[in-house]
């Protein structure tokens, strides 16, 4: 299984708690159809106590990277989802997923979108499945993974169109012979559909490159002048910073002048002048040695005086 069980299974646990987000999902009921299952849950906010119903459908007759053998069960699922108001904006957007989120989910989105467009247009011949798919792929990369899924999309649209015909559409919008699902020319059809997918990918790449080139060409003269002005300001700031650093280095190399000038005399060898130069360390060492030697000399003289 590619998807972890994220809803409660009545055979095991009737509810699941997600403490990280303070939510609880409670199993309510389940209705088993021939090709899919409808479940009802209750989603509860553990902090506020607010609860709302959730309707969940799962299609178990759709192989990964493949397509159902017939579009009728899929269209029945689509009708049930619509009938329950899942696409009503008052109840929020529906959540649709499969394994990768582009193959089976993409087929569902494409078929539903085309059927919706056909039901609300006076010019059905202006609707192009390839153009719609190319547009949707700009929002979800890689939608419709295989030629088989693309062929199934055509078949489901043709089959769904029959139901639309009874309500508001004419009967000759599509030539069903092109998408009758027969296997006589299956390899040839696969080649054509694969080519269609490749053409869509190529067209999307061309559009992306065109948008990129246009974004570069949109740079106006004012933008260029602004860039030059900002560059000059940046260079001036760098020069000012460099100048300040040089001044600070020069001050560090100079003799400190924080003491009053009256303490200094004109003799460069005065004690205070020596103390404020780089030779002050040697001066202090010599001074300490002189004092220490004087003390030893004084003691030596005193000892000699006592012995005599």
Please choose, from the candidates 29, 34, 31, the residue with its C-alpha nearest in 3D space to the C-alpha of residue 8: 29
Rg (CA), the chain: 43
Cβ atoms of residues 179 and 154 within 8 Å: yes
In degrees and rounded to multiples of 5, residue 271 shows phi and psi of -65, -45
Q: Using CA atoms, how far apart are residues 166 and 92, in angstroms rounded to an integer? A: 30
Residue 5's Cβ-side half-sphere holds a number of Cα atoms within 13 Å equal to 10
**What angle is formed at CA 223 by the lines to CA 217 and CA 228, rounded to 5 degrees?**
120
In degrees and rounded to multiples of 5, residue 18 shows phi and psi of -115, 90
Catalytic residue among 3, 17, 79, 98: 98
Confirm whether 84 is a catalytic residue.
no
Please choose, from the candidates 116, 105, 45, the residue with its C-alpha nearest in 3D space to the C-alpha of residue 79: 116
Active site positions, annotated: 98
């Amino acid at each position: 299984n590619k998807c972890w069980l994220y809803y409660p299974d009545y055979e095991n646990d009737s509810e699941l708690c997600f403490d990280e987000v303070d939510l609880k999902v409670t199993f309510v009921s389940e209705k088993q159809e021939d090709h899919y299952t409808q479940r009802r849950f209750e989603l509860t906010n553990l902090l506020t106590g607010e609860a709302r119903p959730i309707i969940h459908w799962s299609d178990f007759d759709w192989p990964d990277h493949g397509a159902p053998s017939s579009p009728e069960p899929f269209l029945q699922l689509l009708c049930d989802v619509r009938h329950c108001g899942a696409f009503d904006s008052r109840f929020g957007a529906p959540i649709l997923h499969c394994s990768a989120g582009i193959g089976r989910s993409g087929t569902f989105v494409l078929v539903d979108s085309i059927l919706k467009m056909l039901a609300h247009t006076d010019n059905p011949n202006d609707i192009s499945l390839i153009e719609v798919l190319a547009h949707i792929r700009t929002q979800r990369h890689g939608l419709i993974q295989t030629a088989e899924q693309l062929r199934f999309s055509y078949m489901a649209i043709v089959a769904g169109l029959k139901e639309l015909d009874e309500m508001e559409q004419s009967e000759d919008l599509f030539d069903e012979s092109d998408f009758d699902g027969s296997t006589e020319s299956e390899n040839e059809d696969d080649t054509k559909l694969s080519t269609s997918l490749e053409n869509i990918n190529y067209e999307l790449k061309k559009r992306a490159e065109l948008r990129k080139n246009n974004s570069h060409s949109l740079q106006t003269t004012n933008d260029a002048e602004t860039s030059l002005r900002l560059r000059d300001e940046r260079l001036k700031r760098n020069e000012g910073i460099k100048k300040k650093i040089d001044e600070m280095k020069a001050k560090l190399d100079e003799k400190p002048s924080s003491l009053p000038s009256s303490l200094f005399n004109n003799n460069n060898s005065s004690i205070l002048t020596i103390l404020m130069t780089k030779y002050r360390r040697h001066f202090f060492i010599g001074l300490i040695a002189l004092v220490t030697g004087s003390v030893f000399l004084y003691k030596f003289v005193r000892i000699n005086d006592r012995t005599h």
